[in-house]
Amino acid sequence: MKIPLSYSYRNLWQRRLTSVLTMGGIGLVVFVFAAVLMLANGLRETLVATGREDNVVVVRKSAQSEMMSAVSRESASVIASFPEVETMASGTALSSSEVSVIINLLKIGSNDMGNVTVRGVAPEGLMIRPQVRIVEGRSFQTGTSEIIVGASIHGRFQGCSIGQTLRFGGRDWTITGVFDGQKSGYDSEVWGDSDQLMQAFNRPVFSSMALRLRSVGDFDAFKARMASEPRLQQLETKREKLFFAEQSETMAAFIRILGLVITIIFSFGAVIGAMITMYASVANRTAEIGTLRALGFKRRSILSAFLFEALFLSGIGGGVGLLLSSGLQFITISTINFGSFSEVAFGFTLSPSIALNSMLFSLFMGVVGGFIPAVRASRMNIITALRST
Amino acid sequence: MEPIIAIRDLSKSYYRESLEIPVLQNISMDIARGEFLALMGPSGSGKTTLLNLIAGIDRPDAGSILVNGTDVPTLNESELAEWRAQNVGFVFQFYNLLPVLTAFENVELPLLLTPLTKKQRREHVEAALGVVGLGDRMNHTPKQLSGGQEQRVAIARAIVTDPTIIVADEPTGDLDKRSAEEILALLERLNSAFEKTIVMVTHDPRAADRAHVQRHLEKGELL
List of chain A residues whose C-beta atoms are within 8 Å of the C-beta of residue B92: 291, 386, 389
In whole angstroms, give the CA distance from residue A279 to residue A377: 9
Name the percent of chain A lying above pLDDT 90: 52
Confidence of residue A53 (pLDDT cuts 50, 70, 90): confident
**Predicted ipTM beyond 0.90:** yes
Specify if B177 maps to a domain: yes
List of chain A residues whose C-beta atoms are within 8 Å of the C-beta of residue B85: 295-297
Residues A147 and A174 sit within 8 Å (Cβ to Cβ): yes
Mean pLDDT confidence for A31-57: 85
List of chain B residues whose C-beta atoms are within 8 Å of the C-beta of residue A379: none
Mean pLDDT confidence for A345-369: 91
Mean pLDDT confidence for A223-245: 89
Report chain A residues touching chain B, CB-CB < 8 A: 1-4, 6-7, 10-11, 13-14, 287-288, 290-299, 382-383, 386, 389
Compute the half-sphere exposure of residue A347: CA atoms within 13 Å on the CB side of its CA. 17
Minimal Cα–Cα distance from B18 to chain A, Å? Answer: 19
Q: Of A51-60, A181-190, A236-245, B94-103, give the range with the top mean pLDDT.
A: B94-103
**A249-276 pLDDT per residue, tens:** 877 888 889 888 988 898 888 899 889 9
List alpha helices for chain B, DSSP H: 47-55, 77-87, 103-108, 118-131, 147-159, 177-194, 205-209
- The CATH number linked to B95 is 3.40.50.300
Beta-bridge partner residues of B70: B67
In whole angstroms, give the CA distance from residue A156 to residue A334: 9
- Residue A250 has a pLDDT of 78
**B69-95 pLDDT per residue, tens:** 899 999 999 999 999 999 999 999 999
Specify if B184 maps to a domain: yes
Query: Kind and range of the H or E element at A315?
Result: helix A299-326
Specify if B15 maps to a domain: no
Domains held by chain B: number: 1
Question: B residues 190-209 near A, CB within 8 Å?
Answer: none
Specify if B147 maps to a domain: yes
Specify if B112 maps to a domain: yes
Mean pLDDT confidence for A11-23: 89
Query: Kind and range of the H or E element at B168?
Result: strand B165-169
Query: Kind and range of the H or E element at A98?
Result: strand A95-106
Closest listed residue to residue B100, CA positions, set A378, A1, A19? A19
**B106-150 pLDDT per residue, tens:** 999 999 999 999 999 999 999 999 999 999 999 999 999 999 999
In the structure, how many helices (H) and strands (E) does chain A have? 12, 12
* B52, B86, B100 member nearest A10 (Cβ): B100
Task: Check if B77 contacts A (Cβ < 8 Å).
Answer: yes
- Residue B1 has a pLDDT of 64
In whole angstroms, give the CA distance from residue A312 to residue A305: 10
Closest chain B residue by Cα to residue A8: B100
Number of CB pairs, chain A paired with chain B, less than 8 A apart: 72
- Residue A338 has a pLDDT of 66
Domain locations along chain A: 5-48+247-387, 62-233
In whole angstroms, give the CA distance from residue A82 to residue A211: 11
- Residue A342 has a pLDDT of 67
**R_g of chain B, CA atoms, integer Å:** 17
Cβ neighbours for B107, distance < 8 A, ≥ 6 positions apart: B125, B128, B129, B153, B156, B157, B160
Is A22 a residue whose pLDDT tops 50?
yes
Residues A118 and A142 sit within 8 Å (Cβ to Cβ): no
A146-150 and B36-40 strand pairing: unpaired
* 3 state DSSP class of A249: helix
Cβ neighbours for A20, distance < 8 A, ≥ 6 positions apart: none
Confidence of residue A340 (pLDDT cuts 50, 70, 90): low
Least confident of A181-195, A208-222, B195-209: A181-195
- Residue A251 has a pLDDT of 79
Average predicted confidence (pLDDT) for chain B: 92
List of chain A residues whose C-beta atoms are within 8 Å of the C-beta of residue B78: 298
Name the percent of chain B lying above pLDDT 90: 79
Confidence of residue A389 (pLDDT cuts 50, 70, 90): low
- Residue A1 has a pLDDT of 45
Name the percent of chain A lying above pLDDT 70: 98
Residue A207 to residues A57, A70, A203, A281, B46, Cα–Cα distance (Å): 11, 4, 9, 65, 95
Q: State the DSSP code for A158.
A: T
The C-alpha angle A107, A108, A111, rounded to 5 degrees, equals 55
Residues B113 and B121 sit within 8 Å (Cβ to Cβ): no
Closest chain A residue by Cα to residue B107: A295
B154 versus A183: the higher-pLDDT residue is: B154
Confidence of residue A194 (pLDDT cuts 50, 70, 90): very high
Residues A201 and A215 sit within 8 Å (Cβ to Cβ): no
Which amino acid is residue B105, in one-letter code? E
In whole angstroms, give the CA distance from residue A29 to residue A38: 14
Per the structure, the complete domain to which residue B96 belongs is given by: 32-57+85-215
**CB pair distance less than 8 Å for A296 and B82:** yes
Q: Percent helix, strand, coil in chain A (nearest 5)? A: 55, 20, 25
Confidence of residue B15 (pLDDT cuts 50, 70, 90): confident
- pTM for the whole thing? 0.76
Specify if B27 maps to a domain: no
